[in-house]
Amino acid sequence: MKDNFPVLGFDIGGTKIGVGLVSSDGKLLGKDRIENKHSYPDEILPKMVEIGKRLVADAGLNMDQIRAIGIASPAPADFLNGIITCPTNQKHWINVPIVEYISEHFGVETHFDNDANAGMLAEWFFGAGRGFKDVIYLTMSTGIGGGVIANGHLIKGASLVAGEIGHMVLEPNGIKCNCGLTGCYEAYCGGLAIAQRMQKELADQPDHPIVQHAGGNIDDVDMIALEKAVTEDNEYAMALWSETCERNAQAYGMLMNIFNPERIILGTLAWATGDMFMKPVEEQIPRFAWKQTREACTLVKSELRRDIGYYAGPAIALNGLYEKGEFERP
């Protein structure tokens, strides 16, 4: 159970698929990516097999040395039966039996989970969550996904959709979320939602610094343009950034009081902006969490950062073995 062995994984995204070969002690043995924009599964699946086998061979390994394979995919999917059902960012991937295909073509035990859980598992096995039993991970990018480790196990929930932290309702009469609910955390703090809000509010201001930082095109206004305007002390940008930090602090405080975690690990936004984000958020946490839960928890940035997609699939594989008692975390 404590021996070192390789696992293979795939992280299926809207524009690319990360392929990673990782040893159980966290060494990245090989990586590659497959472009996946507007693609069909019958052209992508064979590439996944081809590249996976090549990475194994290039590392000087045989397939019979690969203990397990993991696949990360966006929801919605039938994770129990291993089927990608109808992901919102891949219109051609309808009812694809991904686990059956991969397990048959590799001849290796294959595990399947959503991409946010995979990010949590990657940080837990290989990154900022190592050594902890109660940890939460948040993606903090286009949307806000989450994964929760409680008492040393990933929480999946009765319907296998636990961890949808981005859709906690922070404001019942607030902003309409892209998911259909009103006032979701993601509606206030997700990168896409913030971009859509700015595009609406600045539509008649072509000379606004945020629009100018987007090349003068309102449709290209995004978080990067906002961040640049904040560093220039633009009043609108600073007010929106302050509101976003407050809402994030509200969400983290809720998580601290509900789960009492040792760590909350933050994805892209946190490590891309650093103290510009972390400092105002940490200052406001006391408004939303008890002293006991605050003192027990540390907010930290992702350690894996851009490489998390190469570790996500292998982490699902390791967790499958861990839950069966066939692997013990270091």
Measured distance CA(257)–CA(244) in Å, rounded: 20
Report the SS3 class of residue 14.
coil
All residues at 6 or more sequence positions from 46 whose CB lies less than 8 Å from its CB, including other chains: none
For the cut 70, the answer to whether the pLDDT of residue 1 exceeds it is no
For the cut 60, the answer to whether the pLDDT of residue 185 exceeds it is yes
Lowest mean pLDDT among 4-8, 68-72, 75-79, 104-108: 75-79
For the cut 60, the answer to whether the pLDDT of residue 175 exceeds it is yes
- Tokens 């000087």 belong to residue: 60
The pLDDT of 41-47, averaged and rounded, is 96
* pLDDT one-digit tens code per residue, 112-140: 999 999 999 999 999 999 999 999 999 99
The pLDDT of 147-169, averaged and rounded, is 95
Q: pTM of the prediction?
A: 0.95
The pLDDT of residue 190 is 96
**CATH number of this structure's domain 135-303:** 3.30.420.40
All residues at 6 or more sequence positions from 286 whose CB lies less than 8 Å from its CB, including other chains: 294
Return the percentage of the chain with pLDDT > 70, whole number.
99
Same topology between domain 6-126+306-323 and domain 135-303 = yes
For the cut 70, the answer to whether the pLDDT of residue 58 exceeds it is yes
The pLDDT of 212-217, averaged and rounded, is 98
What would the DSSP string read from start to end of 81-126?
TTEE---TT-TT--SB-HHHHHHHHHTS-EEEEEHHHHHHHHHHHH
The pLDDT of 149-178, averaged and rounded, is 95
Angle at 164 between CA 195 and CA 181, to 5 degrees: 60
Architecture of the domain made up of 6-126+306-323: 2-Layer Sandwich (3.30)
The pLDDT of 55-78, averaged and rounded, is 95
The pLDDT of residue 22 is 98
Contact 16, 34 (CB under 8 A): yes
In the chain, the amino acid numbered 252 is Y
The pLDDT of 237-263, averaged and rounded, is 98
All residues at 6 or more sequence positions from 18 whose CB lies less than 8 Å from its CB, including other chains: 10, 11, 31, 33, 309, 310, 312, 313
The pLDDT of residue 2 is 60
The pLDDT of residue 180 is 92
DSSP 328: -
Assign 3-state DSSP to the chain and report helix, strand, coil percentages, each to 5: 45, 20, 35
- Could you tell me the residue ranges of all domains in the chain? 6-126+306-323, 135-303
The pLDDT of residue 71 is 98
The pLDDT of residue 122 is 98
Q: Where are the beta strands (DSSP E) in the chain?
A: 6-12, 16-23, 28-35, 69-73, 77-78, 83-84, 110-114, 135-138, 146-150, 153-154, 263-266, 298-301
The pLDDT of residue 330 is 72
Lowest mean pLDDT among 44-48, 89-93, 142-146, 178-182: 89-93
**More reliable by pLDDT, 311 or 39:** 311
